[in-house]
Amino acid sequence: MTTPRSASSARSEVRQIAPKLIELSETVLYGDVWERPGLSKRDRSLITVAALTAMYRTDQLSGHIERALANGVTREEIGELITHLAFYAGWPAAMTTGRIARKVFDETKP
């Protein structure tokens, strides 16, 4: 599994404060939950970006948008996700996610 740059940076920062949290993230969340066969990583990425948008968890969005692209979600699909969520999660949340996605797209090869 490839770890997005922003995710690995965040993990490094938090590891100094809460090493067990990072260990659980790496072994349980990414080592088990993300590897379960019931959903593809692509679908898990769509769900995760949607959940982070709806909960307005902007610190985690960049890394998960990067991960979504790496897992086969297209830029167009991310745009559709953002548009769809504007009506369910709120316009400000969608606009913020759109701005974050733009930055990730600008930094990521198509």
Which residues are CB-contacts of 1 (< 8 A; sequence separation ≥ 6)? 30, 34
Delimit the domains of the chain by residue range.
Answer: 5-107
* pLDDT for the residue numbered 9: 79
- The third-level CATH classification (topology) of the domain covering 5-107 is AhpD-like (1.20.1290)
Given this model, what pLDDT does residue 71 score?
97
**pLDDT tens by residue, 12-41:** 999 999 999 999 999 999 999 999 999 999
Distance CA 65, CA 48 (A): 9
pTM: 0.88
Q: Which of 104, 72, 102, 106 is nearest to 5 (CA)?
A: 104
Q: What is the mean pLDDT of the chain?
A: 93
| 82/67 Cα distance (integer angstroms) | 16
With H, G, I as helix, E, B as strand and everything else as coil, classify residue 10.
helix
